[in-house]
Structure 1
Amino acid sequence: MTAEPRTKAETRTTAETRTTTETRTTTETRTTTDTRTTTDTCTTARADTAADVHTGPGSETASAPTPAPRRSHGGPVLALLAAPAAMGVSGPTLALSDAATGLAVSPGTAAWLLTAYGIGMAVGTPLLTAAGGRRGPAGTVRAGAAVLVLGAALALVAPNLPLAVAGRALEAAGAAGLNVAAFQIAGRDRSGRAPGLVAIGSAVGGTSGLFIGAAVAGTLGWRATLVLPLLSLLALVPALRLAARTAPEPEPAGGRQQPRTAAARSLPLPLDVLRDPGFRTAAGLMLALSTVNFALLYAAPRRVAALTGWNGMETGAAASIATLVGALLSWQLIRAAPALGMRRMRLLLAAGSLTAAALASFAPWSAVVLIGSATSSLVTAGGQGLLTGAATGRLPEARHGTAIGLFNLAFLIGVAAGPAVAEALTAA
């Protein structure tokens, strides 16, 4: 009798234990299932997120992010855009006697074909910069190209000196626009290498123009030397692409603007730029370097021809090689600038220019005259690359375009003044 109740109790206990075990097992199973479901959901979400991050238009794999391509500032293209503008200064130099005969004027009067080009570049720089200012460097490139073509056409068909001079001035204004646009686009390279390449390209154009002009005059006639800046059109399309790619991002609507920038934009004249000591120093030195360089570009080949008796082709080749070597060596000057510092660099540029003028003007040997020309080319090309950054270094970014335009204006005033000074000194 006592065994039976014990059996029922054991049975009940066993049943309860089994039920509890099953319940716990079921709970654990549900918990495991829920955890697995949550884990799967998180994994799926993480995978979807990774796919969204790593997968883009045109992507074939989603394994790793693709590094952003390095931005190219197109120094060689911009150098090709600027070089023919400088070529227009020196190209007709050794063909002036033929031009004087063709236009029935004296060789000294024919020198206005060079002076007018420099004046046209000086005047065209602010005008073309303003004309294309609303559309950025691309607008300046388009406006410059149109004016260049118009002026070259007039220079080619002009029957007398006044019309030829007018054509050269108009052509130079367009070339100035292309030159300024090249430096504006290159100026976005903070390393200074792109502006340096543009400056070297400009120097190479000016120096090689002596030989190219003499060769073109011998084959196509003296009028062809007046339109050498048309070669800039070879770089027109890639330059427009660079201008579009390096355009500054628009400011957000309603964004807050710095008071200094807003005040500067409202000024009728760029007084804030002109007041800046760094800009004034850089622009003044550039004016001096440019005046000496283009005076020697006009006078030194004549001294070489007088000392050697060489013809135009031989003189042009020798002068071009000397000044080209100087322009190429300016790259080493640009590389040495960070170690020397800007103050020492300014002193070196000024001393080099004075030495060049003395050697080219007074040396009794043609080789030394050519060394003087090479030295002037070296410091002018190096200075144009280095001083561009110094002219804008202390100004807000919104004023860099204006500062670069005014800086190039100082350079171009030297382009105009150099041949006139040389002609006045040699005539005296």
Structure 2
Amino acid sequence: MATPLTTGVAEARPERVRGGGPCLTLLAAPAAMGVSGPTLTLTEAAHGLDVPAGAAAWLMTAYGIGMVVGTPLLSAAGGRRGPAGTVRAGAALVVLGAALALAAPNLPLAVAGRALEAAGAAGLNVAAFQIAGRDRSGRASGLVAIGSAVGGTTGLFAGAAVAGALGWRAALVLPLLSLLALAPALRLAGRAAGPETGARLGPGSGRRPSRTAPLPLDVLRDPGFRTAAGLMLALSTVNFALLYGAPRRVAALTGWSGVETGAAASVATLVGAVLSWQLVRAAPALGARRVRLLLVGGSLTAIALAAFAPWAAVVLVGSAASSLVTAGGQGLLTGAATERLPEARHGSAIGLFNLAFLIGVAVGPALAEALTGA
């Protein structure tokens, strides 16, 4: 959950984003759709680009890499030019990357297009949270977070559906849907702009002008941060490896079409994400050590079920289990990552923690292809 920003500004501040939650959700959710959208169309993409089936997995890996690079770069741009500048830069990169992916005659150019598109989508996601953070009630940020989670879980179905109607390249450019919210998002960004536009946003932020932050060596040295970020990296890597591999196993076991497989896989991951709330609620009673054991055990169980179960329903249970521990882990481990650090370093710690998650987004599909293709 986003921490409401305390600025000391008059109570009119929440008015600036009132009613903007749905718009900001539409701005951010397609970024998550872009992660999983091509999963069930990679075989067609490989044929279309005349490459081996395994090589087409780079269309997913490149998206994760683009988000890893784009998130800090466009966050920095937002600190200098405000959320409206981040929205414009993100939208431009999405359009440029999508155009390249749609027109690319070969895999390297298609991969480059996906990476550019992902960098732009990351920027739109950053901007959505920047604008939503001006609502001190936290409702707008909550809607954006929920929308991103739903976007990621429904991307499998959306990608298969648009590919069936428009061809496999359409599944590569789902982040273009963010442009539907571009004009209202820019209006919200303009209303949200104020004297603290250049301030650092995040836990512990005040109204100070942004300064060049020191290297976060103190954060990286903290054992609590390293444990939390390392576990988040592992959970994310497993989750996105299964996001790539589990639907393909389901299709092989059942003979279902891409749309049918995408619908079933989307429902499974969505159920897991919703059930993660129960883990979050139970965490205080369980204690940190037991929570970590549950997260590790749940992820290992998910791997076993999704990789080795001979029944499609059990493979889908594995996907749901991975979604559950990953979504729950994001919330629980964020707190653990900052627990021992001074409040002034929470923003840096959360940024690095999110980077660990995004590295898993990039590594997971590549690892799954390497293991299954071996």
Question: Could you tell me the TM-score, scaled by structure 2's length?
Answer: 0.82
- Please list the CA deviations of residues 313-339 of structure 1 after superposition, one character each: whole Å capped at 9, or x if unmatched: 221121111112212223343444455
Unaligned runs of 5+ in 2: 1-10, 198-203
Any conservation in 2 of the 1:200–1:382 contact (CA below 8 Å)?
no
Percent identity for Structure 1 against Structure 2: 83
Partner of 1:364: 310
**Selected match of 1:176 from 86, 98, 122:** 122
Deviation at 1:196, TM superposition (A): 5.7
AA at the equivalent of 1:323: T
Deviation at 1:198, TM superposition (A): 4.1
Any conservation in 2 of the 1:184–1:401 contact (CA below 8 Å)?
no
Distance 2:145 2:87 in 1: 17
Residue 111 of structure 2 is aligned to residue 165 of structure 1: yes
Deviation at 1:89, TM superposition (A): 1.5
Distance 2:140 2:293 in 1: 24
Distance 1:340 1:112 in 2: 40
Partner of 1:62: none
Residue 47 of structure 2 is aligned to residue 101 of structure 1: yes
Could you say which structure has the greater relative contact order, defined with CA pairs below 8 angstroms and 6 or more residues apart? 2
1:227 partner SS: helix
Distance 2:85 2:57 in 1: 32
Deviation at 1:185, TM superposition (A): 5.3
Deviation at 1:356, TM superposition (A): 1.2
Distance 1:169 1:223 in 2: 15
Question: Could you tell me the TM-score, scaled by structure 1's length?
Answer: 0.72
**Selected match of 2:163 from 217, 224, 230:** 217
**Selected match of 1:327 from 269, 273, 291:** 273
- Mean CA deviation greater in 203-212 or 175-184: 175-184
Partner of 2:357: 411
Distance 1:421 1:286 in 2: 16
AA at the equivalent of 1:346: R
Aligned length: 353
Any conservation in 2 of the 1:91–1:213 contact (CA below 8 Å)?
yes
AA at the equivalent of 2:237: T
- Mean CA deviation greater in 415-424 or 226-235: 226-235
Distance 2:234 2:136 in 1: 25
Partner of 1:129: 75
1:105 partner SS: coil
Deviation at 1:183, TM superposition (A): 4.5
1:132 partner SS: helix
- Please list the CA deviations of residues 343-369 of structure 1 after superposition, one character each: whole Å capped at 9, or x if unmatched: 543333232222211111111111111
- Please list the CA deviations of residues 143-173 of structure 1 after superposition, one character each: whole Å capped at 9, or x if unmatched: 2222112111111111211111110010011
Residue 244 of structure 2 is aligned to residue 298 of structure 1: yes
- Please list the CA deviations of residues 254-279 of structure 1 after superposition, one character each: whole Å capped at 9, or x if unmatched: xxxx9xxx9x9555533243334443
Unaligned runs of 5+ in 1: 1-66, 252-257
Distance 1:239 1:342 in 2: 39
Any conservation in 2 of the 1:196–1:331 contact (CA below 8 Å)?
no
Distance 1:340 1:243 in 2: 41
- Please list the CA deviations of residues 234-269 of structure 1 after superposition, one character each: whole Å capped at 9, or x if unmatched: 344554566566678649xxxxxx9xxx9x955553
Deviation at 1:76, TM superposition (A): 5.0
- Relative to structure 1, is the Cα distance of residues 329 and 141 closer, same or farther in structure 2, using a 3 angstrom cutoff? farther
- Relative to structure 1, is the Cα distance of residues 376 and 105 closer, same or farther in structure 2, using a 3 angstrom cutoff? same
Which of the two has higher C-alpha Rg?
1
Deviation at 1:220, TM superposition (A): 0.7
- Mean CA deviation greater in 351-360 or 264-273: 264-273
Any conservation in 2 of the 1:195–1:385 contact (CA below 8 Å)?
no
- Mean CA deviation greater in 402-411 or 318-327: 402-411
Deviation at 1:382, TM superposition (A): 2.4
Residue 228 of structure 2 is aligned to residue 282 of structure 1: yes
**Structure 1 segment 1-400 matched on structure 2, within 5 A:** 76-184=22-130, 197-240=143-186, 250=196, 265=211, 269-392=215-338, 395=341, 399-400=345-346
Deviation at 1:417, TM superposition (A): 0.4
Partner of 1:60: none
AA at the equivalent of 1:374: A
- Please list the CA deviations of residues 28-69 of structure 1 after superposition, one character each: whole Å capped at 9, or x if unmatched: xxxxxxxxxxxxxxxxxxxxxxxxxxxxxxxxxxxxxxx979
